[in-house]
Amino acid sequence: MSSEQGAATLEGTEFDLDNAVMGPTGRPLREFPEPAPLASHGPARVIAMVNQKGGVGKTTSTINLAAALAEYGRRVLLVDFDPQGALSAGLGVNPHELDLTVYNVLMDRKVDIREAIHHTGVENVDLLPANIDLSAAEVQLVNEVAREQVLDRALKKVEDDYDVVLIDCQPSLGLLTVNALTAAHGVIIPLICEFFALRAVALLVETIDKVQDRLNPRLQVDGVLATMYDARTLHSREVITRLVEAFGDKVFETVIKRSIKFADATVAAEPITSYAGTHVGADAYRRLAKELISRGGAP
């Protein structure tokens, strides 16, 4: 949207529209402050990246948000909670060659979670990997006592080692996702800017409300993240408008635009912040990290 003459007010802040850039969410793009360094680390705030629809940019957003938070001095643990192991592969870990994964941590109390955590090539970012074994956990957990809290118990052992834990959930609303929501303080919903993606959100919000009511009263929606946005299409712009109508200020001002660079970075097994550090996609995830911190979603 082009800027217009005059000034506008957003949450008490005046914008000179001659200089302000109007964002795709219909709000002037604010400059979020540079996060202050942390004097100490932990306990971690746990965030579940959830959407039962696949292909919405969950894994890409998890990796790149983690890398951006790490650039600001935050220690981040990534939890791959998808049997496909895309998060692990995206950080250069071959999920098929692992002896210990999140599955072993969930199913065997003798396994120390620290033994399964890998250091990644990204400073301040560690990984709890997953592979196809995790698909069996959904069935095996059914007979467990307090089956929804197994991940929460495991993460509590390392919560003081990190500032943020990001859980990359599988595209379903099954028992694994419920475990992630039970362990989490907040939820980020990545949502591709397509109409069919909007339809799935109502069921997801209903699931979040149930978990909040029955299992995890502290749970809250940190934000809805619009991904694969293409400003050239009316469709993308209409989806954003509908999102803001439905979620209001819960929609992040930061929007992730569609770019082939994200796929290139995935092939290189790097976050875009290191693969193409000056690219607009890298800047978008740095801005998202700053927005999340300024909203109180991360320390």
Phi (first) and psi of residue 188, to 5 degrees: -110, 130
Enclosing domain of residue 267 = 45-294
Instruction: Give the bridge partners for 77, in sequence order.
Output: 126, 165
Tell whether 130 is covered by a domain.
yes
92: its two tokens: 């250069």
CA proximity to 24, closest of 272, 198, 256: 256
Tell whether 40 is covered by a domain.
no
Tell whether 76 is covered by a domain.
yes
Tell whether 150 is covered by a domain.
yes
pLDDT at 69: 98
Structurally, how many domains does the chain consist of? 1
**Tokens 């049997």 sit at which residue?**
83
For residues 60-74, one letter each, b for 16 or more C-beta atoms within 10 angstroms of the residue's C-beta and e for the rest, the string is bbbbbbbbbbbbbeb
Q: Output the domain CATH number for residue 230.
A: 3.40.50.300
Tell whether 216 is covered by a domain.
yes
Tell whether 31 is covered by a domain.
no
Tell whether 14 is covered by a domain.
no
pLDDT at 19: 65
Tell whether 12 is covered by a domain.
no
Which pTM does this prediction carry? 0.90
- Tens place of pLDDT for every residue, the chain, 299 residues? 443 433 443 443 444 555 667 888 888 878 899 999 999 998 999 999 999 888 888 999 999 999 999 999 999 999 999 999 999 999 999 988 899 999 999 999 999 999 999 999 999 999 999 999 999 998 999 888 889 999 999 999 999 999 999 999 999 889 999 999 999 999 999 999 888 777 778 889 999 999 999 999 999 999 999 999 888 889 888 989 988 988 999 999 999 999 999 999 999 999 999 999 899 999 999 999 999 999 999 99
SS3 at position 215:
coil
